[in-house]
Amino acid sequence: MRIGGLEAGGTKMVCAIGDEQGNITEKKIIPTGTPQDTMPELIDFYKGKGIEALGIGCFGPVDLNRKSSTYGFIRQTAKLPWINFDMAGTMSKELQVPIGFDTDVNGAVLGEAVWGAAKGLDNAIYITVGTGIGVGVYIDKRLVHGLMHPEAGHVLLSRHPKDTYKGRCPYHSNCAEGLAAGPAVEERWGQKAVELADREEVWEMEAYYISQAIADYIFVYSPEKIILGGGIMHQKKLYDMVRKQTKELLNGYIAKEEILEDMENYIVEPLLGDEAGIKGALYLGVLKLGNC
């Protein structure tokens, strides 16, 4: 079975051809410009390759409501030229194959659930702390959609007592993304995140925010595994800081061994590394084909 996968990001598009086992035989990265520049390049990559379906994990917000006239569209994104762009419809028209469509982070959690750190589990979440904060949610073996889709990067947090930074989200003064995504860290401290590696107070504050968000996700989604990735998590010391603070915030209330005894295996790095998103996208295509 030949399947196409597309991890559509705000800075780059990862295009792949692969199969239902997650083997990728061809891959290309295309920088994200405007739809007018970028779409012809994407279409050119997939055309003539005999794919039976295409799965797309897309930056958002996106419309996932199949009854909506704008199903498959990108909505009010910060990437202005893409607002109201019909991503799924354009690909369907051009390639004439079934299109599986979901958010980039739902794609990533699916990849990890099928082939990665959450393999065999029914419930997991995938959190990326990068240019933004996004959360893919997989419950009872399904990706969660609702009125829209989870936007858990925007959960509201208590401010660190020493934090005077205004926050970076245009909608909320104290949401996780506005306080703790890469651009917020860099604006607050006035340096590239990687250059802040030795500043203990930076990571103490970062762990404080990420842990609060994770405690909320545990209360609300009750995941069996939390996969934590994204550029900021290249600061590996954050993993243990986050595990410890999350446990403290839960304060024994979620009395499960995974949390009380085995945090190292509960909050984990993506097993698929950088390929969670693209492999998940591929599997969105596999699922779509199965449902046709």
Site residues (CB under 6 A) for ligand ADP? 9, 11, 128, 130-131, 182-183, 185-186, 193-194, 230-232, 234-235
As measured in angstroms, the least distance from the Cβ of 211 to Zn ion is: 18
Pick from 169, 214, 238, 287 the residue near Zn ion by CB under 5 A: 169
Beta bridge partners of 16: 5, 27
**10-19 long-range contacts, CB within 8 A, separation 24+:** 10/59, 10/77, 10/78, 10/79, 10/131, 11/131, 13/38, 13/42, 14/277, 14/278, 14/281, 15/42, 15/45, 15/46, 16/278, 16/281, 16/282, 17/46, 17/49, 17/51, 18/279, 18/282
Of the pair 159, 172, the CB lying nearest Zn ion is at 172
As measured in angstroms, the least distance from the Cβ of 12 to Zn ion is: 23
Pick from 151, 172, 183, 189 the residue near Zn ion by CB under 5 A: 172
As measured in angstroms, the least distance from the Cβ of 233 to ligand ADP is: 8
Of the pair 185, 259, the CB lying nearest ligand ADP is at 185
Quote the tokens at residue 30. 């295309």
Pick from 13, 175, 263, 272 the residue near Zn ion by CB under 5 A: 175
The DSSP letter of residue 122 is: S
As measured in angstroms, the least distance from the Cβ of 229 to ligand ADP is: 7
Closest CA to 109 of 245, 190, 227, 200: 227
Of the pair 66, 171, the CB lying nearest Zn ion is at 171
Of the pair 168, 225, the CB lying nearest Zn ion is at 168
Residue 248 CB burial class (10 angstroms; 0-12, 13-18, ≥19): exposed
Which secondary structure element, helix H or strand E, spans residue 55, and what is its range?
Answer: strand 53-58
Report how many residues bind Zn ion under the rule CB under 5 A.
6
As measured in angstroms, the least distance from the Cβ of 247 to ligand ADP is: 23
The set of residues, in sequence order, having a beta carbon less than 8 Å from that of 171 and lying 6+ positions away, is: 154
Pick from 56, 106, 152, 154 the residue near Zn ion by CB under 5 A: 154
As measured in angstroms, the least distance from the Cβ of 223 to ligand ADP is: 20
List the interface residues with Zn ion, window 260-279 (CB under 5 A): none
Which secondary structure element, helix H or strand E, spans residue 283, and what is its range?
Answer: helix 276-290
Of the pair 30, 193, the CB lying nearest ligand ADP is at 193
